[in-house]
Amino acid sequence: MYKNVALTGATGTMGGETLRAFLKETGFNLKVLARRSEKNIKMLSPLEREGRIEVVWGDLADYESVKRLAQGSDILLHIGGMVSPKADWYPEETMRVNTSAMRNIIDALEELSLTDMPVISIGSVSQTGNREVSNRFGRTGDPIAPARFDSYAMSKCIAERMLSESSLARWASLRQSGILYSKLLGKANDPITFHVPLNGMLEWATVEDSARLMVNICKSDIPDSFWKKFYNISSGKMYRLTNYQFETLILKAIGASSPEKIFDTKWFALKNFHGQWYSDADVLEGLFSFRENLPVREYFRRLASKAPSYLKLAFLCPAFVMKMFMGHVAMNRTLGTRYWIKSGNEARIDAFYGGMAAYYAIAPWKGFSLASPDPDPDEEEVASLSLDHGYDESAPAASLDAAMLEKAAAFRGGRAVSVPDVTGDALWDSPLEWECHDGHRFVLTPRTVLLGGYWCPQCMEKPDDYPRQARYNGFLAQVVAPLHD
């Protein structure tokens, strides 16, 4: 058990629920880092006065604040940072905050000689970008491929790579999926609603399960085999939904009409978001038993019961009025899909639709082909829908050698420039020089490349160039080619 817990993000969605979950427990000393804002002071100061938490008033991007948070702690839960939808409106700030936070955590633990302190960092499903129905099942180690214009996803990739390449001895990156929480019902007025394709897929995680996972990690005697790896978070196969199914459930929860009566199909992007179903999300459940296992429809009814009073009156609003409102949302001058079309924003139209021809080809509801894949296929089908990582994943970790690395590099269109004369555990964390097809040379450990799904840092930061890169990188082509057929 880790008694002295340091927590970032305590005033956010997942971090706030984690804070509330810890307050129901005994035996923990909780220290949180928070900005000194009116909202945060109102939320945290009473708990601080009661002696239930210690607050470090500061900022994730401030090194001294992070150092004060880490001092005297047994474990650091890094949940904080800028996330969507705010991240979509402030991309430069998002990149600065999220990458600075990770840099500060690593540097602070090194300065304090606390490199053995466990760090749980929350990543994101957005790091692996968009998926089609044909490759809907993903797992850690799949290609890192953020969507175009997604600074949040890119910031999480850069931060996670920092962590994986750091000197910290006990870290784990837990990639969070879409989070279900009560205030989500009130987010319909954000134009990113329409950035999600109707046939896009997510394996959702409830905020309660996510918080329980954090608490259970701190309660556990964690095996050494857990550390220095990547994991996917979800509430299980019951929470595998297409976006159309999600919209249907959320509208039904507030007593509103069906998606067909409230949206036009052309308002929704065709690609360039993120999401997948997981073949490996049960790994965390097996270790920490955090899922409530509440049926998804029942969970949406629970969300509705917690909705603001004005949303509970949604059933009184005629469908045509709601459609007018949502159409207005889609006309937002910065992130609205309808406005991109009206203003001829070619870069956005190409990224999210594949061009004007693809936009005009979108059928109305009557002719629109809605995907309804089986959320619980057998293992053989899941395997057939899973990606090739370019090396023998069934081989024992201790058998990693130069031949395996050279094969993996070739599959990615490049080569391993230098491989030390070691094998197994020593090789996983050896900084190696690699070269991509474009001749960029870079240094990463096999752990980051094979288990994390990373490759050339320069190429990763150019999502608009992924289609060209995929002509030479067979690893990346598995997720990029289906999007551009």
Asked whether the predicted pLDDT for residue 187 surpasses 80, the reply is: no
> Which residues make beta-bridge pairs with 5?
30, 75
List the one residue out of 254, 239, 335 whose CA is nearest residue 285. 239
The pLDDT tens digits for 245-283 are 999 999 998 899 999 999 999 999 999 999 999 999 999
pLDDT at position 352 is 98
Question: What is the per-residue pLDDT across 54-100, written as a single tens digit (0 to 9) for each?
Answer: 999 999 999 999 999 999 999 999 999 998 878 888 999 999 999 99
pLDDT of residue 130 exceeding 80, the answer is yes
What's residue 46's pLDDT? 96
Stretch 39-67: mean pLDDT: 96
Protein fold of 4-179+203-233+277-290: Rossmann fold (3.40.50)
Give the Cα separation of 328 and 320 in Å (integer).
12
Q: How far apart are CA 170 and CA 485, in angstroms?
A: 42
Is the pLDDT at 13 greater than 70? The verdict is yes
> What's the pLDDT tens digit per position in 222-250?
999 999 999 999 999 999 999 999 999 99
User: Quick check: 292 and 209 in contact, CB under 8 A?
Assistant: yes
What residues contact residue 211 under an 8 Å CB cut-off, 6+ apart?
14, 17, 18, 20, 21
- In whole angstroms, give the CA distance from residue 397 to residue 393: 8
Q: pLDDT of 418-444, one tens digit each?
A: 888 888 888 999 999 999 999 999 999
Average pLDDT over residues 45-60: 96
Give me the sign of the Cα torsion angle 119, 124, 129, 134. positive
Q: Nearest to residue 70, comparing CAs of 5, 12, 22, 120?
A: 5
Q: How many degrees, rounded to 5, is the angle at CA 306 between CA 304 and CA 308?
A: 90
Burial of 221 (0-12, 13-18, 19+ CB in 10 A): exposed
Band of the pLDDT at 484, cuts 50, 70, 90? low
Comparing CA positions, the residue from 309, 347, 386 lying closest to residue 131 is 386
Residue 185 pLDDT > 90, yes or no?
Answer: no
Helices (H), 296-450: 296-305, 309-312, 319-329, 337-343, 346-353, 356-360, 379-384, 402-411, 425-428, 446
The string of DSSP codes covering 181-236 is -GGGGG-TTSGGGGGS-TT-EEE-EEHHHHHHHHHHHHHS---GGGSSEEEE--S-
- Residue 483: predicted pLDDT: 57
Q: Is residue 437 helix, strand or coil?
A: coil
Do residues 308 and 186 make contact, with C-beta atoms less than 8 angstroms apart?
A: yes
Strand 4-8, strand 229-232: pairing = unpaired
Distance between CA atoms of 127 and 142, rounded to whole angstroms? 10
pLDDT of 43 over the 60 cut: yes
The answer, yes or no, to whether residue 313 has pLDDT greater than 90, is no
Mean pLDDT score across all residues of the chain: 95
End-to-end CA distance of the chain: give it in Å, rounded: 50
Each residue's pLDDT tens digit, 362-401: 999 999 999 999 999 999 999 999 999 999 999 999 999 9
Q: Is the pLDDT of residue 143 over 70?
A: yes
What percentage of residues in the chain have a pLDDT greater than 90?
89
- The tokens for 422 are 């070691």
pTM score of the predicted model: 0.96
Classify residue 78 as exposed, middle or buried by CB count within 10 Å of its CB (0-12, 13-18, 19+): buried
- Element (DSSP H or E) covering residue 6: strand 4-8
Say if residue 150's pLDDT is above 60.
Answer: yes
Q: What pLDDT was estimated at residue 420?
A: 86
pLDDT of 38 strictly over 60: yes
pLDDT greater than 70 at residue 207: yes
Prior bond of 85 cis (ω within 30°): yes
Whose CA is closest to 149, among 200, 201, 91? 91
Helix (H) or strand (E) holding 92: helix 91-111
Domain boundaries, the chain: 4-179+203-233+277-290, 390-452+455-483
pLDDT band at 45 (very low <50, low <70, confident <90, very high): very high
How confident is the model at residue 302, as a pLDDT? 94
Q: Report the 3 state secondary structure along 66-85.
A: HHHHHCCCCEEEECCCCCCC
Q: What is the pLDDT of residue 1?
A: 76
